[in-house]
A and B are shown apart, each in its own frame.
Chain A
Amino acid sequence: MTSKEKVYPTIDAAVADIPDGATIMFGGFGGAGFPNNLIQGLARQGARNLGVISNNCGTGEGELGLLFKNRQISRVIAAFPGPGAKYFQEQFDAGEIELELVPQGILCERMRAFGAGIPAFFSPVGVGTEIGRGKEERMIRGKRYILEQALGADYAFIRAYRADRMGNLVYRKAARNFNPIMATAAKSTIVEVEEVVATGKLDPETIVTPSIFVDRIVQAEGKRYA
C-alpha cells in the first residue's frame, strides 16, 4: 500500500466509489474543519442510506445539512445534532432517522479505542443517566463505570490544512478537532486539504496525522458555513 498514489485529481474522483449503506465519519466543529468539498461531492455522487458519525448534523444546507436535505442519511451517531440542523431535525421529528446521542468526549474515545485496537472500555461518563441504560456496569476501585464499545466506520471524511503526497497531515488552529481521531478509526480515510506539498516538505515534528492513517488526498479550497 505504501507506494500507492494517494492524491486524487478531483473531489468527485475521491468519493466516486462510496457505496449505498456505508458508514462515514465526518470531522468538523463549530464551522471549522469540516470537509465541505467532500460532503458536496458525496451529494453529487448520490450514495444513499448512509450512516453518519459526526459531532453535529449541519447548519441549514451547509456542512452535513446538504446530505440530510437530499435524504441520503438514515442513521446518525452524534453528540450535539444542533438547533441549526434544520433538515436533520425535521426528519428526526418525523421518525425517519435513527439517532444515537453520545457524550462528546465518549464519541472521541470510542473512535480512539477502535483505532487503537481496543474493543471496549469502562467509562465514568453517563453513569446513572440515560446514557448508561442497558450498558454493563462495574465497580472499579469503589466507583461506578459503564462499558462503552469502540466505534469504527467504513470511511472518514476529514479536512486538514496541508498534506504531503504520502498523506502526512498538519492542521490549522481549532480546525483540527475530530479530524485526527477519525482518521485512525475508518477503513479508508479521505482528506481534503488546502495544499498538497512534496513528500519531505512537512516538518516531521509538526505532523499530527501520520500518513499510515490516510488513504486518499484531494486539494480543495476550504468552504465555511455558519
Chain B
Amino acid sequence: MPKARLTREQIAERAALELPDGAYVNLGWGIPNLIAAYVPSQVTVYFHSENGILGMGPRAKPGEEDFDLVDAMKVPVTLLPGGSYFSQDDAHVMTRGGHLDICILGGLQVSEHGDLANWRVPGAKGAGGIGGAMDISVGAQKLLVTMEHTAKDGSPKIVKTCSYPLTAIDCVDTIITDLAVIDVTPEGLVLREVAPGFTPEEVQTFTEPKLRYSTKVPEMRLQQR
C-alpha cells in the first residue's frame, strides 16, 4: 500500500503560503484555481484575470451572477473594492510586461532547467489550446507550478528535458507537488520541503533529475486550521 501523498487541496494550501502580502497574482487552471480559498487571513493579494479584471473577488453567490463578470474559466465572479476592468490586450500588458508579482500555473512536465510544458499532451485528440499560459509564463516576476509529482502511470513529471510541447523555457521558479517543494536554481533543483511521512531519498526516486538537499529537509508547511 503506497503512502498517502498530499491531496490537491493540500497542494493548494501549501502554495497559498508563497503569496506575499500585497502581491498582484494570476492563478491558472487546475490546482492553482483552488488556491484563492487558502490565502492566509493576514495576507491581502489582488487577483488578475486575463480577460480583463484586476481585483477579482470570490465566485458570485447563486442568484447574484452577472455573466458579463466571469473569470478565465467562465465562472461568474465578483469585483472587490479597488478592482478594475480593462481590455484583453491590457490584461496581457500586465502578464507579459512583468507587472504581476507571482503567477501559479498547473504543469504536465517541468524540467530541471525550469522549462514548463502545460498545454498539450502529445497524441491527444483535438486541436489543443494555449490560452494565456505562454504570456503568463514568460512575464511573471515569479512563476510557481503546482501539480502532482508523478503522472497517472507513475512516471516522473519533473524531468531532465520536457518531452511534451513547451509552454516556455527557463521560466519556473518553484514547483509544489503532493510530495515536495522544489526550487529551480542555477545550480539545479533544490529540495526545500518534503511531504509529511516522506524522506528526501523517497522523493528523489519519483524525480528524474538529481535533487540537491541538506541533511535535514523540513516537512511541507500546512496552515493551522
* A residues adjacent to B (C-beta < 8 A): 29-33, 55-56, 78-83, 88-89, 92-93, 99, 101-106, 108-109, 111-112, 123-131, 171-181, 208, 224, 226
B50-101 residues with Cβ-Cβ distance < 8 A to A are 50-53, 66-74, 79, 85-89, 91-92, 95-96
Please tell me the number of chain B residues within 8 Å of chain A, measured between CB atoms. 44
Of the listed stretches B143-151, B162-170, B189-197, B207-215, name the one at the interface; the rest are far from the partner chain: B162-170
In the bound complex, what is the Cα–Cα distance between A92 and B92 (angstroms)? 28
Q: A79-B131, A81-B129 are in contact. Are A29 and B87 (CB under 8 A)?
A: no
Do the beta carbons of B135 and A224 come within 8 Å of each other? no
In the bound complex, what is the Cα–Cα distance between A179 and B87 (angstroms)? 8
* B residues adjacent to A (C-beta < 8 A): 49-53, 66-74, 79, 85-89, 91-92, 95-96, 115, 125-135, 138-139, 165-170
Do the beta carbons of B70 and A109 come within 8 Å of each other? no
Do the beta carbons of A101 and B129 come within 8 Å of each other? yes
Q: A104-B50, A128-B169, A177-B52 are in contact. Are A33 and B132 (CB under 8 A)?
A: no
Do the beta carbons of A124 and B87 come within 8 Å of each other? no
Do the beta carbons of A102 and B169 come within 8 Å of each other? no
Do the beta carbons of A177 and B88 come within 8 Å of each other? yes
In the bound complex, what is the Cα–Cα distance between A5 and B97 (angstroms)? 40
Chain B neighbourhood of A124, CB < 8 A:
96, 138-139
Chain A neighbourhood of B53, CB < 8 A:
174
In the bound complex, what is the Cα–Cα distance between A31 and B136 (angstroms)? 22
Chain B neighbourhood of A123, CB < 8 A:
96
Chain B neighbourhood of A108, CB < 8 A:
87-89, 91-92
In the bound complex, what is the Cα–Cα distance between A124 and B139 (angstroms)? 9
Chain A neighbourhood of B129, CB < 8 A:
56, 78-82, 101
Chain A neighbourhood of B70, CB < 8 A:
30-32, 174
Q: A82-B129, A124-B96 are in contact. Are A175 and B68 (CB under 8 A)?
A: yes
In the bound complex, what is the Cα–Cα distance between A172 and B53 (angstroms)? 12
Among candidates B66, B88, B165, residue contacting A29 with C-beta atoms closer than 8 Å: B88
Do the beta carbons of B74 and A226 come within 8 Å of each other? yes
In the bound complex, what is the Cα–Cα distance between A40 and B135 (angstroms)? 32
Residue of B73, B92, B130, B131 with most partner-chain A CB within 10 A: B130
Do the beta carbons of B134 and A126 come within 8 Å of each other? yes
Do the beta carbons of B85 and A32 come within 8 Å of each other? no
Do the beta carbons of A31 and B74 come within 8 Å of each other? yes
In the bound complex, what is the Cα–Cα distance between A172 and B135 (angstroms)? 25
In the bound complex, what is the Cα–Cα distance between A118 and B208 (angstroms)? 45
Chain A min CB distance to B170 (Å)? 8
User: Can you give 19 A-B contacts (C-beta < 8 A)?
Assistant: A32-B51, A32-B68, A55-B88, A56-B129, A78-B129, A80-B129, A101-B129, A104-B88, A105-B89, A105-B134, A108-B89, A111-B89, A112-B89, A128-B115, A129-B168, A177-B88, A179-B87, A181-B87, A181-B88
